[in-house]
């Protein structure tokens, strides 16, 4: 699966109005951006366009709806770029204010449009808003990996109304790291999947079993696999309607000669709270208890499997890492990855947050900026925001 999409380096951008779809969907607390991974990821493309004399018009969504503004992002970006990023405050996103701001631009200037979700058409990929976005620009650049799995006006629709639609550096980088890891891994290739639910990761498990040498399962999804094999799981998370699927996957791993690792002990509690954990003796969880993290023997087992790997891909925490008493398994996996002499790739979302919060961020080869998008990529799906771009 070669990458055959045109990039910003394949086209002339000087003097052109370039609309760049970024992923500025960053977490905010009291108006302050608490994780800048996505902003950092966007900088190389923006800098390239500034340096090459484009008129740079940035757009993104933030949050699920119209309730948030991108103004704090424009301020922070101005600092990071050491250059004014003009915020085009405009409820219509592409209304009179935005148009006026774009009219005034000189080559090398940067304007940021308001949250694209201020327009309810955005997520429905409606023609009208796509056309409005396209009308601002000569060229469209998609660099929003985190939204590349969604066909929205600002990711897919807009490409129908511009002559040139290419990808930026972040999308190229994400596809390179995730793509090489999954399609061309240096072996042994170990994948680690955690998080709450099996049902969210069914297609990923199935796809990765065709590719990995070892698949490690942790987090809430592990209990469905354990119950399916007849272990006691107390009051742990379980998806009864996935028990058969769990057995199928265990069988598939056997048939393919893939090592399939499940927890051999757990940290449990009687309620879903950050309380002192009880460590179980083995796979079984006593009645009235729920598994909230993998146990110490499991940490060792998993660290051992990661130690000799040459490629490791991780998506989903090993337990309720938001609780200090139940973040040990997630820390152990992060540490084993940090210590391994391997290419280490973190799918976005919760695992990226966990790795950063726990202080292992700079020890990984690549931390994806896209949770949902990296999962769909790991499922083997094509991402519509990338499919829509011009081929080389």
Torsion region of 125: left, alpha or beta (phi above 0 gives left; psi -120 to 50 gives alpha): left
Beta-strand runs (E) in the chain: 17-21, 28-29, 32-33, 55-59, 85-88, 110-113, 139-142, 164-167, 189-193, 214-217, 259-261, 266-269, 278-279, 290-294, 311-315, 343-346, 366-367
Show Cβ contacts of residue 24 under 8 Å, excluding neighbours closer than 6 positions.
38, 39, 42, 58, 60, 61, 62, 70, 73
202 touching ligand AMP, by CB under 6 A:
no
Q: Which stretch binds ligand AMP (CB under 6 A): 14-22, 146-154, 191-199, 336-344?
A: 191-199
User: Cβ 74 to ligand AMP, closest distance in Å?
Assistant: 29
Tell me, yes or no, if 64 is annotated catalytic: no
Q: Which stretch binds ligand AMP (CB under 6 A): 206-214, 300-308, 317-325, 377-385?
A: 317-325
Neighbouring residues of 351: CB distance < 8 A, sequence distance ≥ 6: 194, 195, 314, 315, 316, 317
Residues 6+ apart with CB under 8 A from 188: 213, 214, 308, 309, 310, 311
Single residue of 319, 348, 384, 385 touching ligand AMP by CB under 6 A? 319
Minimum gap (Å) between residue 222 Cβ and ligand AMP = 7
Q: Which of 350, 352, 370, 373 binds ligand AMP (CB under 6 A)?
A: 350
Rounded distance, CA 379 to CA 149, Å? 12
Under rule CB under 6 A, residue 180 binds ligand AMP: no
Name the helix (H) or strand (E) containing 372.
helix 371-378
Report the residue from 146, 157, 234, 291 that binds ligand AMP according to the rule CB under 6 A: 291
How many chain residues touch ligand AMP (CB under 6 A)?
16
Question: In the bound complex, what is the minimum distance in angstroms from residue 201's beta carbon to ligand AMP?
Answer: 7
Please pick, from the candidates 90, 92, 107, 200, the single residue that binds ligand AMP as defined by CB under 6 A.
200
Give the one residue of 138, 232, 322, 379 binding ligand AMP; rule: CB under 6 A. 322
| Cα–Cα distances in angstroms (integers) from residue 68 to residues 71, 84, 344, in the given order | 9, 21, 33
Assess 332 for contact with ligand AMP (CB under 6 A).
no
Whether the Cβ atoms of residue 388 and residue 159 lie closer than 8 Å to each other: yes
Catalytic residue among 295, 349, 370, 371: 349
Annotated catalytic residue within 6, 197, 252, 307: 197
* 372 belongs to the catalytic site: yes
In whole angstroms, how large is the CA radius of gyration of the chain? 23
Does residue 234 touch ligand AMP according to CB under 6 A? no
Nearest residue (CB) to ligand AMP, 8 versus 352: 352
Element of type H or E holding 357: helix 349-357
Q: What share of the chain is helix, strand, coil (3-state, %, to 5)?
A: 40, 20, 40
- The verdict on 168 binding ligand AMP (CB under 6 A) reads no
Cis peptide before 188 (omega within 30 of 0): yes
197 assigned to active site: yes
Give yes or no for residue 196 binding ligand AMP (CB under 6 A). Answer: yes
Min dist. Cβ of residue 301 to ligand AMP (A): 17
Of 220, 263, 348, 384, the residue at the interface with ligand AMP (CB under 6 A) is 220
Report the catalytic residues: 38, 197, 349, 372
Contact positions toward ligand AMP, by CB under 6 A?
195-197, 200, 219-220, 237, 291-292, 316-317, 319-320, 322, 349-350
């Amino acid at each position: 699966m070669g990458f055959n999409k045109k990039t910003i380096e394949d086209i002339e951008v000087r003097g052109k109005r370039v609309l760049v779809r970024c992923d500025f969907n960053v977490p905010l607390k009291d108006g302050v951006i608490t994780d800048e991974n996505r902003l950092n990821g966007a900088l190389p493309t923006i800098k390239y366009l500034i340096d090459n004399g484009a008129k740079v018009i940035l757009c993104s969504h933030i949050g699920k709806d119209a309730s948030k503004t991108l103004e704090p992002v424009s301020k922070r970006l101005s600092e990071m770029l050491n250059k004014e990023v003009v915020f085009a405050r405009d409820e219509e996103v592409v209304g009179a204010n935005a148009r006026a701001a774009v009219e005034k631009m000189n080559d090398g200037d940067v304007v940021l449009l308001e949250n694209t979700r201020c327009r309810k058409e955005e997520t429905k990929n409606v023609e009208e808003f796509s056309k409005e976005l396209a009308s601002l620009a000569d060229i469209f650049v998609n660099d929003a990996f985190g939204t590349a799995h969604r066909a929205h006006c600002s990711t897919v629709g807009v490409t129908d109304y511009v002559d040139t639609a290419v990808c930026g550096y972040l999308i190229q980088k994400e596809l390179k790291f995730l793509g090489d890891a999954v399609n061309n891994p240096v072996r042994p290739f170990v994948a680690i999947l955690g998080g709450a639910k099996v049902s969210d990761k069914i297609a990923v498990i199935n796809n990765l079993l065709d590719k990995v040498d070892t698949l490690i399962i942790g987090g809430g999804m592990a209990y469905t696999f354990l119950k399916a094999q007849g272990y006691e799981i107390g009051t742990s998370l379980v998806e009864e309607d996935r028990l058969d699927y769990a057995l199928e996957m265990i069988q598939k791993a056997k048939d393919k000669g893939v090592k399939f690792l499940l927890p051999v002990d757990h940290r449990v509690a009687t309620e879903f709270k950050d309380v002192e954990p009880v460590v179980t003796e083995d796979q079984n969880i006593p009645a009235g208890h729920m598994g909230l993290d993998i146990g110490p023997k499991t940490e060792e087992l998993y660290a051992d499997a990661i130690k000799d790997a040459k490629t490791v891909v991780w998506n989903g925490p090993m337990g309720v890492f938001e609780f200090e008493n139940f973040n040990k398994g997630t820390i152990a996996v992060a540490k084993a990855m940090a210590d391994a002499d391997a290419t280490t790739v973190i799918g976005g979302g919760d695992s990226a947050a966990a790795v950063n919060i726990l202080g292992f961020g700079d020890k990984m080869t690549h931390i994806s900026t896209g949770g949902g998008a990296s999962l769909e990529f790991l499922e083997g799906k094509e991402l519509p925001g990338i499919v829509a771009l011009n081929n080389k």
